Structure 1
Amino acid sequence: MLLCDIGNTSYHFLDDERSFKESVGTFNPQNIQEKVYYISVNHAVNAEIANLVNWIDISSLINRERYYETMGIDRIAAVEAVENAIVVDAGSAVTVDAVKEGVYMGGFIYPGMKAMQKSYKDISPALDYSFNFELNLDKMPKNSQDAISYGYLKTLYTEVMLHNLPVILTGGDAKVFAKIFKEADVDERLVFKGMKKILQKADRC
């Protein structure tokens, strides 16, 4: 089964156990002849593949009443993969979603690492630092790099851990955030696991 998670910059495929990406700017979806089950947050790509009969949008198979109206399909797919966990998807934005006994409890959106670093730099060039993921979140910082790192990471860490749920990290920066969420599981294929569960519920696989 060929699955595809379409973002703003790439097509992320899972072909059985092989994962690979193609650029939105250069990849031609007509080159694939087999069935592709996909989700997408890219409106331009949606228009391009709308008439390709072998590309099957699975978003219509989801019970949207479990979620709020404007929630992204990629977040929903990740949530569908878990029963009891808080999912932290660390990408251009950091999304945090809580699930208890299979019920979606809600979530929030936090600036991604690059966006937050840029915001500090925009305030003052003196704050142009990368984040220190090795700092001790139990001690107040005494230098500028750790001060901005603490302000960003401690706030996120505290809010996530407050819910007393197992933490699952996914997304491009998951392994970096694992340095502060030391007990978390990193699952880079969580969205695909959710997509498979959606298809199984609909008897499509």
Structure 2
Amino acid sequence: MLLCDIGNTSYHFLKDTLDYKESVQSFDPSTLQERVFYICVNPHAKELVKDLENWIDLSGHVEISRYYETMGIDRVFACEAISDGVILDAGSAITVDRVRDGSFEGGFIYPGVQAMAQTYKNISPVLDYSFNFELDLDKMPKNSRDAISYGYLKTLYNEVMEQNMELFLTGGDAQMFAKIFPHAKIDKTLIFKGMKKIMKKAKLC
């Protein structure tokens, strides 16, 4: 069984226990002959796969009324994977969603690492720094790199910690955020777990 989470920059595949990625710019989905169960947030990629008979869109099998109309399908499937907790998905954008007793209670969207770094750079070239994920968020910064890092990370940190629930980190930048959330559980296959759960409910596997 082959699962695929199609994002803004990559096709993220899971086959058994092996996960791997292909670039959305160069990968041709028609080269795959086996059945692929997928979700997709990329409009261009969706056009490529929608008429391929062996690519099966799982988005129609989820009870979308439990969420909100414009919510990204990747967020929906991540939420389907857990019963209780907060999910921080660190990708092109950062999404934070809360699930309690199996029900989605809401969430918010925050700029991703690269997007926010570019924002600071656009303000002034002297603010062109990488973020310091190892700074002490309990102390006011005394240099420019830590100042922009604090401004970016402290707000997110406070909002997540206020939820007072188990935290799940997923997405490409999850490892970086583990430095400020050391007690969080890192699970980069969380969306795939949600996909498997929906497939089981729909008797697709």
> Does the TM-score normalized on the shorter chain lie above 0.5?
yes
Q: How many residues align?
A: 205
TM-score (norm 2): 0.97
Unaligned runs of 5+ in 1: none
Unaligned runs of 5+ in 2: none
**Is the counterpart of residue 172 in structure 1 residue 172 in structure 2?**
yes
Name the residue aligned to 2:188. 188
Question: Over aligned residues, Cα RMSD in angstroms?
Answer: 0.9
**Greater CA deviation, 163-172 or 40-49?**
40-49
The ranges of structure 1 where at least 4 consecutive aligned residues each deviate by more than 4 angstroms after the TM superposition are: none
**Is the counterpart of residue 27 in structure 1 residue 53 in structure 2?**
no
Shift of 1:128: 1.4
The DSSP-based 3-state class of the residue aligned with 1:20 is: strand
Name the residue aligned to 1:98. 98
Shift of 1:198: 0.8
Name the residue aligned to 1:137. 137
Name the residue aligned to 1:116. 116
Shift of 1:8: 2.1
TM-score (norm 1): 0.97
**Greater CA deviation, 126-135 or 173-182?**
126-135
Shift of 1:50: 1.8
Shift of 1:118: 1.1
* Counterparts of 1:102 and 1:199, CA distance in 2: 17
* Counterparts of 1:49 and 1:114, CA distance in 2: 28
Shift of 1:160: 0.5
* Counterparts of 1:45 and 1:127, CA distance in 2: 35
Name the residue aligned to 2:203. 203
**Is the counterpart of residue 71 in structure 1 residue 71 in structure 2?**
yes
* Counterparts of 1:105 and 1:64, CA distance in 2: 14
In the alignment, residue 17 of structure 2 is paired with which amino acid? E
Identical aligned pairs, as a percentage?
62
The DSSP-based 3-state class of the residue aligned with 1:69 is: coil
The DSSP-based 3-state class of the residue aligned with 1:48 is: helix
Name the residue aligned to 2:86. 86
* Counterparts of 1:29 and 1:128, CA distance in 2: 37
